[in-house]
Structure 1
Amino acid sequence: MHEFLVHTDGLTVGYRGVPLIRDITLQVRRGEILTLIGPNGAGKSTILKSIIRQLMPLGGTVYLDGRDMSGMHERAIAQRLSVLMTDRSRPELMTCGEVAAAGRYPYTGRLGILSAADRAKVHEAMALVHAEALYDRSFDEISDGQRQRVLLARAICQEPEVIVLDEPTSFLDIHYKAELLTILKRLVREKQIALILSLHEIDLAQKISDRIVCIRSHAVDRCGTPEEIFSGGYLERLYGMTAGSFDEHYGGIELAAVPGPPRVFVIGGGGSGIPVYRRLQRQGIPFAAGILHENDLDCPAARALAAQVITEQAWQPVRPQTIAQAKAVIDHCAQVLCCVPAFGPLNNCNRQLAEYAGSRLAAVMDST
């Protein structure tokens, strides 16, 4: 048994003899998820198509459990590796059970006749993806999320050691995305299957992947764990973001702050200010936020959306000069919005700000 279930050596991919990406090194072990991310057109799908031999590599070698795939029979590959691509497959006049059963083709022979053991495998795969109730339904009449589950059942019916998926969540709502990724994660953990997939949703890649390969400018730009990739502002450079920002800790995108001096001061903390920050940004109103400890839940959104943020060091008492700085900003704002539902010892500084604002401004302070 080889250390890597799938690995490439000097893989070069492209179209019509023209290289797109050279010297690609990918490695995935049993029980691991390897995810390709990167801008549109960078070559993620091309790499996957070359691994599964839908597109012939222009150079290099793809190994499956130590064997050069170019020398393996198609049926032998199909018994080890299955594929779920983004082409929104719509088999006509087939039930979901029949679509899933098509995954038994590496074992059924030329006529495709299912044995009792084959049918048991089909039912087992449908159960694994929570699609038993769809077995007799027409594949044409179910939702995109249900289709993805049935197509995954078809892939599982091959009894693979590796599943390759190209943008498996592209057409799914959040319910089906979460469900599909949960199923995939369970397959990896319980059956020690290796997954190689591409994803547009980088927040999902951060949550599901063991290792991430970043493709940029037709090259492998970086490879590492999610903790290594999602750090130091790398994601914004990878995607060439010129507007807004990506929060590496929470995996979310925020739009750019409204330019201009703050017109509103928002007193928040503990997540209470985030909806107000976003509402003010949508309304085109520049605002200031504070006083927030640097480890406060509000802090990442405030830094992304506010014109100015008044912060204090994490775990430290709020210093008098920080309070004075916040009061100076309030002096130049037309309104103060207090989002904090209650004050205690740790946010007593914001009580002082609310009282100061009440004495300085005629505006009614609330979070509406």
Structure 2
Amino acid sequence: MTARPVLELRDLAVGHGARALVRDVCLAVRPGQIVALVGPNGSGKTTILRTVAGQLRALGGTVELVGRPLGDVADLERARTMSVMLTGRPRTELLTCRDVVEAGRYPFTGRLGILGEADREAVRAAMEATGVEGLAERDFGHVSDGQRQRVLLARALCQEPRVLLLDEPTSYLDVRSQLDVLSLLRREARERGVAVVASLHEIELAQKAADHVICIRDGGVLFQGAPDEVFTEGRVAELYSLEPGTYDPAFGSVELPRPSGDPEVFVVAGGGTGAPCLRALARAGTPFAAGVLHEHDADGLLARRLAVRTVTERDFEPVSARALAEAREVLLGCRELVCCVDGFGTGNARNAELLECAREAGIPVRRWRDGGATDPSMSG
């Protein structure tokens, strides 16, 4: 049986003053679900979160928390049910990181704010989970942005909420820390049934971590659904006004625009060996061709984004005479060949003939090594 939504937005309109920035937001978030808000800067993601948190007045529609309109939920019950981590630095004077985290327990401590043993254990567990236990006695105002972000997340978690609202929780964090935070949120959702709503700038993180994605642009919800439904090449291009082919859903990454002009370099690659070379040529603005690559090989997928011309073969088939002839024709118009593979197997054996073709035509053959193509021609 599907759990009932713990948070519902119905035809919600949000904004500042009387001006609506985003209209007609509809969303139902169930326990254990992670929802990502994505969209261009200024599209209204933070305004939606602030309205759901009760910090801004809704300009239309309703927000329901645990089945009741948000305005009908008493402040104390709301604080015990919903935890919020929004952007901006809280003003603190002479507060340690532990003091900041302990503030998350105040809905449970009574008027005197005295922490009991259960409260201290919740604080300890949250700081350990976010990796900030070593900062406990540090002045919160004198830690790095990334450390501050983790401390604020610990404060939100030690509140032990049913709903967790996060605005850009991965900002200021390095790659390892981003993965740690997303893994932590997935664990909280799975093991404790927390409903998480987070705005994210990194669409590749939203693609990997979210159960549901809602895309905001031009005053409304452009589209929403499961990550695989939302993060298609066309929809991401529309959401962020990207050039066609810039976003690759297979990798969840955005690539530089394809260089223009006739191909100058022919790249022989396969099995992911060519990615550094392909991206280096794109960065340099050098138009290039690649082949013969299998259609869904990692290099084949990337080359179709970056190469001026890509010669492909059907998956699991050996390179055919047709594909080889096409590649040879393209190669003879290039000034050099760069080979990224160390050897050839059954499937791509005929690509070795491209190297011989280049040598016979006087085209330099270079090997890609350690971030660049070597100057000497390859031997044998």
Both structures adopt the same fold (TM-score exceeding 0.5): yes
**More displaced stretch, 199-208 vs 119-128:** 119-128
* 1:93 corresponding residue in structure 2: 94
CA deviation digits over 1:296-329, x for unaligned, max 9? 1102221111111111122223221111111111
Secondary structure of 1:165 counterpart: strand
CA deviation digits over 1:34-92, x for unaligned, max 9? 01101111111111111011111012111111111111111110000000111133522
* 1:336 corresponding residue in structure 2: 337
Q: Distance in 2 between matches of 1:301 and 1:343?
A: 20
Matched-pair contact (CA < 8 Å) for 1:29–1:194? yes
* 1:204 corresponding residue in structure 2: 205
Are residue 151 (structure 1) and residue 152 (structure 2) matched?
A: yes
Q: Distance in 1 between matches of 2:3 and 2:177?
A: 35
Q: CA deviation at 1:13?
A: 1.1
Which structure 1 segments of 5+ residues have no match? none
**More displaced stretch, 26-35 vs 5-14:** 5-14
* 2:229 corresponding residue in structure 1: 228
Q: Distance in 2 between matches of 1:221 and 1:346?
A: 43
**More displaced stretch, 161-170 vs 224-233:** 224-233
Secondary structure of 1:257 counterpart: coil
* 1:287 corresponding residue in structure 2: 288
Percent identity of the aligned residues?
A: 46
**More displaced stretch, 17-26 vs 358-367:** 358-367
* 1:70 corresponding residue in structure 2: 71
Question: How high is the TM-score relative to the length of structure 2?
Answer: 0.93
Matched-pair contact (CA < 8 Å) for 2:237–2:244? no
Residue type matched to 1:303 in 2? R
Q: CA deviation at 1:244?
A: 6.4
Secondary structure of 2:348 counterpart: helix
What root-mean-square deviation, in Å, do the aligned CA atoms of Structure 1 and Structure 2 show? 1.6
* 2:103 corresponding residue in structure 1: 102
Q: Distance in 2 between matches of 1:352 and 1:251?
A: 34
Are residue 128 (structure 1) and residue 146 (structure 2) matched?
A: no
Are residue 360 (structure 1) and residue 361 (structure 2) matched?
A: yes
* 1:350 corresponding residue in structure 2: 351
Query: How do 1:1-368 and structure 2 match up within 5 A?
Result: 3-89=4-90, 91-242=92-243, 245-367=246-368, 368=373
Matched-pair contact (CA < 8 Å) for 2:316–2:347? no
Matched-pair contact (CA < 8 Å) for 1:100–1:122? yes
Matched-pair contact (CA < 8 Å) for 1:84–1:164? yes
**More displaced stretch, 157-166 vs 114-123:** 114-123
Q: Distance in 1 between matches of 2:345 and 2:84?
A: 56
Q: Distance in 2 between matches of 1:191 and 1:13?
A: 30
Q: Distance in 2 between matches of 1:232 and 1:119?
A: 48
CA 1:362/1:107 → structure 2, altered by over 3 Å: closer, same or farther? closer
CA deviation digits over 1:166-186, x for unaligned, max 9? 111122221221221121111
**More displaced stretch, 294-303 vs 234-243:** 234-243
Residue type matched to 1:158 in 2? Q
Q: Distance in 2 between matches of 1:176 and 1:42?
A: 26
Number of equivalences: 368
Q: Distance in 2 between matches of 1:363 and 1:143?
A: 50
Q: Distance in 2 between matches of 1:154 and 1:364?
A: 58
Q: Distance in 1 between matches of 2:13 and 2:363?
A: 68
Secondary structure of 1:365 counterpart: strand
Which structure 2 segments of 5+ residues have no match? 374-380
Q: Distance in 1 between matches of 2:278 and 2:89?
A: 39
Q: CA deviation at 1:340?
A: 1.1
Q: Distance in 2 between matches of 1:288 and 1:24?
A: 45
Matched-pair contact (CA < 8 Å) for 1:42–1:218? yes
Q: CA deviation at 1:256?
A: 1.0
Q: CA deviation at 1:362?
A: 4.3
Q: CA deviation at 1:243?
A: 7.3
Q: Distance in 2 between matches of 1:171 and 1:183?
A: 17
Secondary structure of 1:285 counterpart: coil
Secondary structure of 1:337 counterpart: strand
Matched-pair contact (CA < 8 Å) for 1:243–1:255? no
Q: Distance in 2 between matches of 1:103 and 1:214?
A: 30
Matched-pair contact (CA < 8 Å) for 1:358–1:365? no
